[in-house]
Amino acid sequence: MKTLSINLAAGQRLNFHLGGNYFHLLETTGPVDVDFLRRGAVESEARDMEFGFFAKPSFGFDELAFDSATTQTIKIAVGFGDGGYSRTTGSVQIIGQADTMAQTAPAVTNASGLLLAANASRKLLVVQNNDTVGNVFLNLAGAAATVAGGIKIEPGGSLILDTHLPASAIYAIGDIASNTKVVVVES
C-alpha cells in the first residue's frame, strides 16, 4: 500500500496511472469526485466523497481520476488486497470538558436551610447522604424543603444531576436533629 498527497485546483481533473483494488481517501477539506478506470474506461465513480471514504472495486483499477470544486490537497492510500487506516484528521470537540468543582459538607438539620445558593451557570450537582440513619429531603425549586414534599435521599444514597439542572437555590431538611455527613459537589 502507498499513500500520496495530491494538489487539486478548483475545477481541474487529474488522472493518475496507479493500479490497485483498494482505495482510501485519507484527507480532504471538501468534497471530491473519484473515478476508477480500467483500460481507459470509467468502471465506477464516487461523487462528493470526503475523508474516510474507501472502496474495494472487485474489478480493480489501473487509473484514478479526481475532480474538486475547490482548491485543496487530498491524501489517498492505494493498494492491492484489503487494507485499513484508522487515522482521524480535523478537530475534535470534547463535550463535558473538565471544570472546576466546589465540594462542601454542610450540616443538614431538622429545620429547612439553604444547601446551595442560586447558580444560573450550574453544570453538575451531586448531593450524597453518607449518614447511616438520617434521610435528607431537598427542594430544588428555591423554596423551603419539607419532609413531606422534598426529594428524598436515603442513608448512603445520592442525587446526581448532570443534564437538566436547577438554577434556583436548593434547600434541605433532615429527619434527624443534625446530619453532618452530607457531601455536595457543584460545578
Q: What is the mean pLDDT of residues 21-41?
A: 93
| Second CATH level (architecture) for the domain 2-79 | Sandwich (2.60)
Listed by start position, the domains of the chain span 2-79, 102-186
Amino acid at 69: A
Q: What is the mean pLDDT of residues 131-148?
A: 96
Report the share of the chain in percent with pLDDT over 70.
91
User: Quick one: pLDDT at residue 2?
Assistant: 86
Q: What is the mean pLDDT of residues 45-73?
A: 92
User: Quick one: pLDDT at residue 144?
Assistant: 97
Fold agreement between 2-79 and 102-186: yes
User: Quick one: pLDDT at residue 85?
Assistant: 59
Do residues 74 and 32 touch, judged by C-beta distance below 8 A? yes
Residue with cell 472495486: 57
Q: What is the mean pLDDT of residues 154-180?
A: 95
What Rg value do the Cα atoms of the chain yield, rounded? Answer: 31
User: Quick one: pLDDT at residue 146?
Assistant: 96
User: Quick one: pLDDT at residue 115?
Assistant: 96
First-to-final CA distance of the chain: 49
Fold of 102-186: Jelly Rolls (2.60.120)
Q: CB-based contacts of 158: which residues, under 8 Å, 6+ apart?
A: 126, 127, 128, 129
User: Quick one: pLDDT at residue 110?
Assistant: 97
Do residues 33 and 67 touch, judged by C-beta distance below 8 A? yes
